[in-house]
Amino acid sequence: MRFSQLLNFEETSDFSAPIAARRTVLIQVEHASPIGANLRQQAFPELTLSVEGGTAATAHTFPMGFARWGVVIDDPGSYRLVAKRDGTALDSLSLTVGAIATVRLADRVSVTTHSVNASGPACASVEDTTLDQVTLRRNQTVQLIAVPLDGDGKAMVGLLSVTAKTSSPAVKLDLPLLMEGGTPNALLLSPGATLGATVDVTVHEEGAPELTVTLPTADEDAPITCH
């Protein structure tokens, strides 16, 4: 069997990354198949999941059905996830839990450009670029991703309770729909009025210093070709 994440946290690939204390992680226990095998992963609906280490009040698990759980661990330290069937341990996974020291925006940014010609075909293109290459234009939506970091600067795993605001009412902030396999801790920026030269985006996460980044904007449409 294997322990897998239901969400793809940015700049982490597995549970070797530190887990953010007091933040939720969504976990599934699956049958393991060879990499590249053309087989659908199957879960273990008959299992239970517990957290060992710390005190009884330190860790919390929330059954979600079909061998899926939400896990929250309050205190930094070393822990083990233990999957059991009828009280017998079948497998376990070691975790390191730490406090969030800071939050920054991921370098990877997703930009969606929409067609604006009412008489032509409607279409959209999605491009991944880097944060320093982004200029928000009138027909675009930009997805930014908040990345929690521990005291050593390592990217962490955990659903943030982040709040955010922009310096201009011309730019709207939304949250993308979160689905299995999706990227959590994301923010969507989209124009709602005439754009100026820049917009400040301020992100706040409990226990971490406030973060403000300035993005260039342009009151024009980005080119797009519909096929």
Domain-by-domain residue ranges, the chain?
Answer: 2-98, 102-218
pLDDT tens string 134-172: 999 999 999 999 999 999 999 999 999 999 999 999 999
Lowest mean pLDDT among 110-124, 163-177, 209-223: 110-124
CATH number for domain 2-98, candidates 3.40.50.1400, 2.60.40.3440, 2.40.110.10, 3.40.1000.10: 2.60.40.3440
The answer to whether 2-98 and 102-218 have equal CATH topology is yes
| Count of H-run helices and E-run strands, the chain | 0, 18
Contact 116, 195 (CB under 8 A): no
Per residue in 173-183, pLDDT tens? 998 877 776 78
**Cα gap 59→53, rounded to integer Å:** 8
pLDDT > 90? residue 127:
yes
Alpha carbon distance 4, 25 (integer Å): 10
Over 60: is that where the pLDDT of 37 sits? no
User: Has domain 102-218 been given CATH number 2.60.40?
Assistant: yes
Could you give the C-alpha distances from 195 to 30, 155, 192, in angstroms and in order? 48, 33, 8
pTM metric for this prediction: 0.87
List the one residue out of 74, 39, 37, 32 whose CA is nearest residue 56.
Answer: 74
Phi, psi of 132 (to 5 degrees): -75, -5
Per-residue confidence (pLDDT) for residue 118, from 0 to 100: 63
Kindly state the average pLDDT of the residues 121-131: 90
- What amino acid occupies position 206? E
* Residues 11 and 42: beta-carbon distance below 8 Å: no
